[in-house]
Amino acid sequence: MSNILIIIEHQNGILNPDSFGLLNAGIQLSRSIGADIHVSIIGQNLDTLSQEVSIKGVHTIHTTPANQPYNHDLYIPIITSLHAELNPIFTLSLHTSTGTDYAPAISSLLDIPLLPDITRFDYTEQIEAVCEMYSSKLCVKISSTSPAILTIRPGSWSNDHSPGDVIINPFVHVIDEKSFNFKVKKHEESPPGEIDISEADLLLSVGRGIGEESNLELIFSTAESIGATVSSSRPIVDRGWLPKDRQVGQSGKKVSPSIYLAVGISGAVQHLAGIKDSQVIISINKDPLAPIFDISHYGIVGDLFEILPALAKEFS
Ligand SMILES: Cc1cc2nc3c(=O)[nH]c(=O)nc-3n(C[C@H](O)[C@H](O)[C@H](O)COP(=O)(O)OP(=O)(O)OC[C@H]3O[C@@H](n4cnc5c(N)ncnc54)[C@H](O)[C@@H]3O)c2cc1C
């Protein structure tokens, strides 16, 4: 029986819930190949994490204790030695800042192909995987020989799971901290902001289409007129125009308002991951082909600088 190795993601012992989607991607692959699913968990809180990911379809969980947060130099030797022991046909991790940190290094060290940011795949005689590029404007199909490493885009597989009967195997690895090139001292959570966008009933969300920071004035005045809370896409936060707690999406907050009004937002998959539970999505974008329109209930093709003042006037 061949093996599939899956690296579970957690932060200081708290499971990243997208790990279940990652496991389901591996389980789908194992059914096509007839492989056993082996899971690696490295770090702290291993008993709880093992219990959480003991789901149907998983064969063995390999636990390696380490009394410190994620570190590239910690993960690489553990994963490569587990890889040498299991000789997996495929190794899967999440396509997150952590997964994209260690997976390319493993691929390079073991000299096996890396298939990044995968959203779906088929397996017949070899794997045919799909990744999306340029804010999902382009789908690229990649076929690869095995063994290979896949990083799986969070949210691409369902997180549904049911409890299973799983073997727990302590995978002991002597950690030589002296060989580490750098140390992660601590992870700091952003301080909680005054606004909780996940509680808002009406969100006016602004994206890069706003052009300049000074144009936020129009956004806030329109939001006030219509009684909305202001949220944003990631580039607005990355530029420091709004605080992180206003960011919607995969690496921001998931929201579920009655109305989500997206203004100058293209609709990249990482943004859409945060707005799927909105009851009604209304979008304003000057590009009629913007992907945000594909999931909008109502769409206005036009210039936000003309439409927002007209909207505010209507409500004042
Ligand atoms: C690991 C990872 C995590 C990520 N997490 C997130 C996340 O949590 N949230 C998130 O949002 N993104 C996230 N991203 C980034 C994401 O891929 C996109 O780059 C981002 O969502 C694009 O933001 P945007 O739509 O504001 O900008 P753009 O894609 O640049 O779109 C701007 C839109 O504005 C429109 N526009 C321009 N001018 C006007 C005008 N005058 N009137 C009307 N429309 C106009 C344009 O037609 C365009 O569609 C993540 C990316 C990665 C790799």
What does the pLDDT read at residue 107? 98
| Cα distances (angstroms) measured from residue 252 to each of 109, 197, 275 | 32, 10, 11
240 with 167, same domain: the answer is: no
168/58 Cα distance (integer angstroms): 10
154 with 227, same domain: the answer is: no
Amino acid at 221: S
Write down how long the chain is: 316
What does the pLDDT read at residue 204? 97
308/216 Cα distance (integer angstroms): 12
φ/ψ region of 43 (left if φ > 0, alpha if ψ in -120 to 50, else beta) reads left
Q: What is the domain range of residue 80?
A: 2-179
What does the pLDDT read at residue 182? 82
Mutate to test the pocket of ligand 1, among 16, 276, 285 (most ligand atoms within 8 A of CB): 285
Number of domains observed in the structure of the chain: 2
Cα 12 to ligand 1 centroid, rounded to whole Å: 30
145 with 262, same domain: the answer is: no
256/299 Cα distance (integer angstroms): 19
| Cα distances (angstroms) measured from residue 245 to each of 178, 191, 237 | 37, 9, 9
On whether residue 192 sits in a domain, the answer given is no
Q: Would the CB of 244 count as within 6 Å of ligand 1?
A: no
Q: Would the CB of 238 count as within 6 Å of ligand 1?
A: no
What does the pLDDT read at residue 190? 64
150 with 214, same domain: the answer is: no
Low-confidence spans in the chain with pLDDT less than 50: none
- Please identify, by atom number, the ligand 1 atom nearest to the C-alpha of residue 303: 42
Amino acid at 114: L
40/86 Cα distance (integer angstroms): 11
pTM of the model: 0.71
> pLDDT, tens digit, for every residue of 217-240?
999 999 999 999 999 999 999 999
Peptide linkage before 17 cis (omega within 30 of 0): no
12 with 150, same domain: the answer is: yes
Which two structure tokens, joined as six digits, stand for 195? Answer: 């606004």
Q: Would the CB of 180 count as within 6 Å of ligand 1?
A: no
What does the pLDDT read at residue 136? 62
156 with 202, same domain: the answer is: no
Q: Would the CB of 229 count as within 6 Å of ligand 1?
A: no
